[in-house]
Amino acid sequence: MKGLCILGATGSIGVNTLDVASRHPDKYKIVALSANSQVERLVELCIKYQPEYAVIADENLLEDLEKQLNNINSSVKALSGIEGLETIASLPQVDYVMAAIVGAAGLKPTLAAARSGKRILLANKEALVMSGQIFMDEVKKNNAELLPIDSEHNAIFQCLPEHYDKGLAESGITKILLTGSGGPFRTKAISELSDITPNQACAHPNWSMGRKISVDSATMMNKGLEIIEACWLFNTNPDNIQVVIHPQSVIHSMVQYSDGSVLAQLGQPDMRTPIAHALSWPERIESGVEKLDLFAIAKLEFEKPDYERFPCLRLAEESIRKGGTAPAILNAANEVAVASFLDNKLKFLDIAYIVEQTLKNLPSRAAYSLNEILEDDLSARKEAEQLIKLRVEEF
Ligand code: NDP
């Protein structure tokens, strides 16, 4: 029986994780759940899954959470804030931590899981994008296990040989082929993109996801963040990663070998497959996902990515080549710009502009510790907010 902590339980990945885990009550025990502000939803999950701990990240809502748990005579222990999240990620009775908080807020609790030597099921790509080497060092030092949940990275992991950590070239790998659907605006005229609304951007053709990652998919910043994530997870660099646009989202990514073989992982666009894979690895469990019907799909297509249409791809690649705190600056500026867009304050095409200007205005530096990363994350947020203010005043 493995004890499971789900950071971000009320979100899209969190709910899918609970769905898969609850199909196997003999294998997984839900020990702890967290949310940011959805107290009622968190309490509903507590009633259904009976964890030992519930954490509400927004400290102002702890009293409300305690009151609601009291009203139902629940014995669930309520905690709050970053400390509460770090506590549940490090509990001795927790074996697996699903890192499914969105954005930079997930960094510290995910690092706490690494420092406690847990199996980390990593959905929160922003944490790895920001802290790269520091995060990977903590995983290694503390014998933690890092299993990717992002469907692309999970697919790559499934297509790699067992000892790929000796080096991709040494393992006979010539390229990682990172697929992406191209999002909802792959074929839309660029002139029509300026007036895109948040709801249009969040209507992904194949995947149902949280709003932030949906916008990232529409700008293709998501693919950019995934390039950075792949560099850290698989110890490689952008020269060895080719983004392949594959509109059907049936192939979740591929690995090309020196003998000409290309291994691919295929499946439905349903996150329960990578979640089940990472929960049960190296075994396999039932996930509730519908079987793939190749005859119904009939056709698979591939295209080169369009870097003009999607400047965020270029910005992400440039930032990982630059290294140090540059990816953290890129990520922070993007989080601020996306939040502003979702709030109807910034235009869709200005997301890339804000990220690019923030990277231009703020010099990055080497990241020796978390301090440099968190300081530059904060400076980038302030800079991006200032740039957005100026941009809004221009119109
Ligand atoms: P959602 O927006 O659906 O859920 C986010 C979760 O994080 C919620 O539980 C939310 O709580 C919580 N949260 C939000 N802000 C904070 C904060 N400041 N502090 C603590 N908790 C917070 O996101 P997704 O599930 O879509 O995505 C989660 C992560 O997984 C992202 O990093 C994303 O890139 C990655 N991912 C997602 C995929 C998907 O299919 N959805 C696919 C691959 C990767 P509350 O509900 O209270 O706001």
Q: Residue 210 Cα, ligand 1 centroid: separation in angstroms?
A: 6
Residue 65: its H or E element:
helix 62-71
| ∠ Cα 216 294 222 (to 5°) | 10
Contact 185, 312 (CB under 8 A): no
Q: How confident is the model at residue 392 (pLDDT cuts 50, 70, 90)?
A: confident
- 55 C-alpha to ligand 1 centroid (Å): 15
* Average pLDDT rounded to a whole number, residues 46-70: 98
Q: Is 37 in the pocket of ligand 1 (CB under 6 A)?
A: yes
Which H helix or E strand runs over 251? strand 251-257
The 10s digit of each residue's pLDDT in 8-32 is 999 999 999 999 999 999 999 999 9
Residue 251 has pLDDT above 90, yes or no: yes
Residue 393 pLDDT: 83
100 close to 76: Cβ distance less than 8 angstroms: no
For the chain, which domains are there? 2-148 (3.40.50.720), 164-269+291-297 (no CATH), 323-394 (1.10.1740.10)
Whether 123 lines ligand 1, by a CB cut-off of 6 Å, is yes
Pocket of ligand 1 contains residue 6 by CB under 6 Å: no
Separation of alpha carbons 41 and 22, rounded Å: 17
User: What average pLDDT does range 119-129 have in this prediction?
Assistant: 97
CB of 65 closer than 6 A to ligand 1?
A: no
Amino acid type, 357: Q
CB 321 within 8 A of CB 238: yes
pLDDT value for 321: 97
Choose between 241 and 194: higher pLDDT. 241
pLDDT at 208 over 90: no
Taking all residues of the chain, what is their mean pLDDT, rounded to a whole number?
96
Taking 80 as the threshold, does the pLDDT of residue 395 lie above it? no
For residue 303, give the DSSP letter: B
Mean pLDDT within 122-143? 97
Taking residues 54-63, what's their average pLDDT? 98
What pLDDT score was predicted for residue 12? Answer: 96
Measured between alpha carbons, how far is 300 from 314 in angstroms, rounded to an integer? 26
Q: How far apart are the first and last CA of the chain?
A: 58
Least confident of 92-106, 252-266, 343-357, 381-395: 381-395
The residue ranges of DSSP E strands in 100-163, in sequence order, are 119-122, 145-148
- pTM for the structure as a whole: 0.97
Could you tell me the distance, in angstroms and rounded to a whole number, from the CA of residue 103 to the centre of ligand 1?
A: 7
Contact 221, 312 (CB under 8 A): yes
pLDDT of residue 260: 97
How sure is the predictor about 89, in pLDDT bands with cuts at 50, 70 and 90?
very high
| 97 Cα–ligand 1 center, Å | 14
